[in-house]
Amino acid sequence: MDLDKIKVLQQQDWDEIAPRLLNFVMKLVRARGITYIPGGLSPEDVPMVCIEKLYNGERNWDPNGGVTLLSHLMGTARSLLSKNGYLRSERDKGVLYTDSEEMLDVLSTETEQTVADEDSHPLVKGLYAEIDGDDELKNVVAAIEMGCEKPREIAEFTGIACDRIYEVKRKLLRKGVVVRKKLGLKADLEEGRQ
Amino acid sequence: MNKVGSTFMDRFVNFVCDDEDVSTERIRADLQADGVDVDAFMGRVRTFVADRTSAAIRANAAMEIAKAQERNNDVSQQVKGEVRL
């Protein structure tokens, strides 16, 4: 990488980018129910791998391309933490993983796409069961079902004040983790029965 | 509203991971509360960026020195040639 680009990267606000990237990775890992990151990486290692890829030129970033560095790095992290991202690139390098290591996602997007009726998706059903009695969270899940995903859209849809959305989001993520754990346990039991 | 073809799972993940409007101080505090050593992590990032920057500066300086030496050699050869004439 040329010196000018290195200097542009050095001038970025890493005090802002780094914790936000780590926060994104931590939430992505929890939201997608990732229990094992190939190579034995910790969630704190993932942002470092993303930054290394940026400096090595594996994931090139154009400072004038209209995408912020944070968004670019988040994209790298998202792709690393997908079954088709990290595992495929590692396989290309000749690294082999065991079946259990390939269980990167308990319920990956790919798995979900095979479910025609979203209402029947175990995560949706599990979430509704877990948040029974909490009308605020029920409204949020309903908003997501209706197609909302931006915090502002959900605030608008549900009438929840924008400054409360962050708290609601954390609460929903915690419930999501509980549901995933329950579903994971159920899957283990089912597997054991076979 | 939502991207065409996005699933509930996509939107759920996008929603819970979108902290664009949240302050960095709040994010740091919550990471800390979740047991993350934010200062240690920031230290890793700062060291990485500083190391890569200084390595690039050193490599660039070495390249410039090599180029300057090459130019000097060319000039010396020219001068020697002129003296002989």
Element (H, E) at B82: helix B38-84
Q: What is the mean pLDDT of residues A45-50?
A: 95
Between residues A161 and B84, the one the model is more confident about: A161
Residue A190 scores a pLDDT above 60: no
Identify whether B77 is part of a domain.
yes
Q: Does B82 touch chain A (CB under 8 A)?
A: no
Q: Write out the H or E segment, with its range, that includes residue B33.
A: helix B24-33
Which residues span the domain enclosing B13? Answer: 8-84
What's the rounded mean pLDDT across residues B59-81? Answer: 87
pLDDT value at residue A138: 93
Which letter does DSSP use for residue A100 in this model? T
- Total domains, chain B: 1
What is the arithmetic mean of pLDDT over B38-67? 94
- Determine, yes or no, domain membership for B1: no
Instruction: Indicate the pLDDT class of residue A157, thresholds 50, 70 and 90.
Output: very high
pLDDT at A110 over 60: no
Checking if the pLDDT of A115 tops 50, the result is: no
Does the beta carbon of A18 lie under 8 angstroms from any beta carbon of chain B? Answer: yes
Diameter over CA atoms, chain A: 60
Q: What is the pLDDT of residue A92?
A: 54
| pLDDT tens string A66-103 | 999 999 999 999 988 876 555 455 555 555 444 444 44
What's the CA gap between A149 and B47, in Å, rounded?
36
- DSSP-based helix, strand, coil % in chain A, nearest 5: 70, 0, 30
Task: Compare all CA atoms of chain B with the CA of A27 and give the residue at the minimum distance.
Answer: B17
Residue of B nearest to A44 (CA): B41
Judge whether A73 and A17 are in contact, CB under 8 Å. yes
ipTM: 0.79
Q: Mean pLDDT for chain A?
A: 79
Look up tokens 């090595």; give the residue: A56
* Tokens coding A81: 């933490």
Closest in A30, A109, A173 to B7, CB measured:
A109
Query: Predicted confidence band at A122 (pLDDT cuts at 50, 70, 90)?
Result: confident
- Structure token digits, residue B10: 């996509």
Q: How far is CA B29 from the centre of its chain?
A: 25
Put simply, whether B13 touches A (Cβ < 8 Å) is yes
Q: Which two tokens stand for residue A128?
A: 């509704």
pLDDT at residue A102, rounded to an integer:
42
Structure-model confidence comparison of residues A119 and A44, the more confident one: A44
Per the CB < 8 A criterion, the answer to whether A43 and A21 are in contact is no
User: In A, residues 100-159, which contact B (CB 8 Å cutoff)?
Assistant: 107, 109, 112-113, 118, 121, 123-124, 140, 144-154
Average pLDDT, stretch A95-123? 48
How many beta-carbon pairs below 8 A join chains A and B? Answer: 136
Answer whether residue B80 shows pLDDT above 70. yes
pLDDT band at B74 (very low <50, low <70, confident <90, very high): confident
pTM above 0.90, yes or no: no
pLDDT of residue A41: 86
Does some domain include residue B2? Answer: no
Say if residue B21's pLDDT is above 60: yes
Q: Mention every residue, 6+ apart, whose C-beta is less than 8 A from residue B41.
A: A18, A19, A22, A44, A47
The better pLDDT of the pair A99, A164 is held by A164
Q: Are A105 and A34 in contact (CB under 8 A)?
A: yes
Q: In the predicted model, what is the mean pLDDT of residues B12-33?
A: 93
- Check if the beta carbon of residue B32 is closer than 8 Å to that of residue A19: no
* Cα-based distances in Å from A132 to A129, A136, A137, A152, B9: 5, 10, 9, 24, 19
